[in-house]
Structure formats: C-alpha cells, structure tokens
C-alpha cells in the first residue's frame, strides 16, 4: 500500500481551501475568483488566483471544465492518453487560430472518460476567462460538438472567420459570448458555429 502524505499548506492557503469547500457545500458549485476574494477579504484577484494555483500544484484541488474540485490529497499517478493539440485559441479578442495539428499532448485518462477519440486540446492566449480558472498559457480539453447549452464554455467560430473561447449565453433569442473577466466586454452575435465545449483544463508549472 502506498502512503499518501499531505503536502503542508500555508495558513492562507488553508483558509482558501476551506473557503472553497464551504462555498461548494452551501451552494453546490464552486466559487469564482471574485467570490473567493469577497469571502477572504482579498481585493486583488491576482492574489486569490495565485493561492488557487498553489493549491492545484500541491494536489488539493483540481480544475475541471472551469470549476474547482477539492481533492484533499495530492493527485495520484494516473495513466495517460495522447490528445491532438490543434493550436491556439484566443481568450480575449477573437482572432484566427493557429493550426498545430501535428502535435499531441498527454492527458490523464480520468479527464476523458468515455469521450476518448472525440477530444482535442488547444492552448489559451489571453485573460478573458481568468474568473473561470482559465489563464493565459493554459491548455484546455475540448469535446468536439456543434451544439452547446447556455452557460457552457465553448470554442466558437464567428462570422468573420475568427475563433474565441467564451461562455455561451442564450437568452430571449439573444446570443452572446460572455467573458469571465470584468475587463472584457461580452460579444453579441447573430449567429455562430460551435467547434466544441470545454471539459477540462491543464496547466504546466
């Protein structure tokens, strides 16, 4: 049997972890960076995000589809599968994606589940989704699909040929791509094509 030893947390990291757990227990979903900051009385979102990244690095939380899931223990060694890296996707202002179709990345098997063979990976450029725990340089796993529900994070292909990563909003016939950063504005469109929906986030330290 392999012993699992908890990696020591700082006092502030412990407070952040407990705040995440309490929020999820009370509301049934994970808090955003801004909500965590309000709970912890930390006004700088970057400072909150830094603590979250430290918790993730130490294995106390996992980011899945833009949500935090506390684990309690450092992540165990998992089997991996290769997923094609299709290029860069802007999480800021929409722009043309770069094709890198000959590359691949290794992904923990548990992140794909039954979706194996229908998932690709893209690297994020920009900071419009930081409140959904997706930062510049992160790699996101995307399930190929041409449909998505309101509230899901998607890779969208716009009429002008540009591509962007945003949260889809469908209300009263209005189609909007919503950022998760107050410094960016929503993008309203008359129509768009969904290339896929986000199912996971990966990060290298």
Specify whether 128 is catalytic. Answer: yes
CA separation, residue 17 to residues 24, 44, 64, 102, 129 (Å) = 11, 17, 16, 39, 21
The CB density around residue 55, as the number of other CB atoms within 10 Å, is: 21
Strand-pairing partners, residue 156, are 164, 194
Catalytic residue among 166, 169, 190, 204: 166
Catalytic residue among 30, 58, 127, 128: 128
Q: Return all residues near 193 (Cβ < 8 A) that are at least 6 apart.
A: 146, 156, 157
- Distance separating alpha carbons of residues 182 and 172, to the nearest angstrom: 23
Give the active site residues.
128, 166
């Amino acid at each position: 049997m392999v012993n699992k030893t908890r990696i020591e947390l700082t006092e502030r990291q412990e407070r952040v972890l407990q705040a995440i757990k309490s929020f999820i227990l009370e509301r049934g979903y994970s808090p955003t960076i801004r909500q965590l900051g309000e709970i912890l009385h930390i006004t700088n979102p970057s400072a909150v995000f830094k603590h979250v990244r430290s918790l993730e690095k130490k294995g106390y939380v996992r980011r899945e589809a833009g949500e935090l899931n506390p684990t309690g223990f450092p992540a165990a060694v998992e089997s991996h599968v290769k997923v094609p890296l299709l290029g860069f996707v802007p999480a800021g202002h929409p722009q043309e994606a770069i094709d890198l179709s000959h590359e691949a990345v290794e992904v923990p098997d548990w992140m794909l589940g039954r979706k194996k063979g229908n998932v690709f990976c893209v690297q994020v450029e920009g900071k419009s989704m930081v409140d959904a725990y997706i930062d510049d340089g992160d790699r996101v796993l995307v399930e190929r699909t041409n449909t998505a529900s309101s509230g899901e994070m998607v890779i969208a292909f716009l009429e002008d040929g540009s591509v962007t990563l945003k949260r889809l909003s469908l209300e009263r016939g209005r189609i909007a791509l919503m950022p998760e950063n107050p410094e960016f504005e929503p993008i309203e469109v008359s129509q768009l094509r969904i290339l896929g929906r986000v199912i996971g986030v990966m990060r290298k330290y």
